[in-house]
A and B are shown apart, each in its own frame.
Chain A
Amino acid sequence: DAGVIQSPRHEVTEMGQEVTLRCKPISGHNSLFWYRQTMMRGLELLIYFNNNVPIDDSGMPEDRFSAKMPNASFSTLKIQPSEPRDSAVYFCASSSGTSGGRDTDTQYFGPGTRLTVL
């Protein structure tokens, strides 16, 4: 299994530009999570999906952030317009979620996207 795939791995952009981060979960997993990690705030859950439906987006910092999951194998996190304070590493993770079995909670993380907004 290829694991969780994220792209791009690094993104450098200028303030005001739109940024789109992409994630492909592990095949068969039906829960997907977007996290943000910074030195100041640590690891924060932004939003998570179950069966492609957003379940909890209370961690999304503001309206500039949006996330979609059009199908079971793809999700995007978009920031528009981007600001320097959005600079962070963004991780996507997936789990088998509520698909049954004991191991529903174990999350597998992607390599992350390091975003720098100048």
Chain B
Amino acid sequence: AQSVSQHNHHVILSEAASLELGCNYSYGGTVNLFWYVQYPGQHLQLLLKYFSGDPLVKGIKGFEAEFIKSKFSFNLRKPSVQWSDTAEYFCAVGSGNTGKLIFGQGTTLQVKP
């Protein structure tokens, strides 16, 4: 069965620090990969997605993620975080067949000003 694991449950950083959130998945076939962000009190919004092609994907607000097929990973990065990046981040995997996504348990990022 498909599963998604996010390594960090809670991350605390100071502004301008670099961010990397880990995401690993288990699925043997072709996958579509996503990162969603949920700001406090809001709904999930798409941050970036990977379907095929260049494994380095750039999203909104300076975020990027790298798909490493051999490691079954899709880590999220940002070189310099801002206080406004405080949110919960979800990694998700889809197979493209059912439309269903498998979500990780989420990582809460707290950025201190």
Contact = CB atoms under 8 A, between A and B. Distances in A.
A34 interface: no
Nearest to B102: A45
B57 to A, nearest CB: 13
A112 B43 contact: yes
Interface stretch (A13-21, A63-71, A102-110): A102-110
B105 interface: yes
A82 interface: no
Contact of A109 (B45, B49, B97, B98): B45
Interface residues of A, number: 26
A103 B51 contact: yes
B17 to A, nearest CB: 25
A93 B101 CA distance: 11
A109 B100 contact: no
B34 interface: yes
A31 interface: yes
A91 B44 contact: yes
Nearest to B44: A109
Interface string A15-55: 00000000000000001010000000011010010100001
Interface of A: 31, 33, 42-43, 45, 48, 50, 55-56, 91, 93, 95-98, 102-112
Interface of B: 32, 34, 36, 42-46, 49, 51-52, 90, 94-101, 103, 105-106
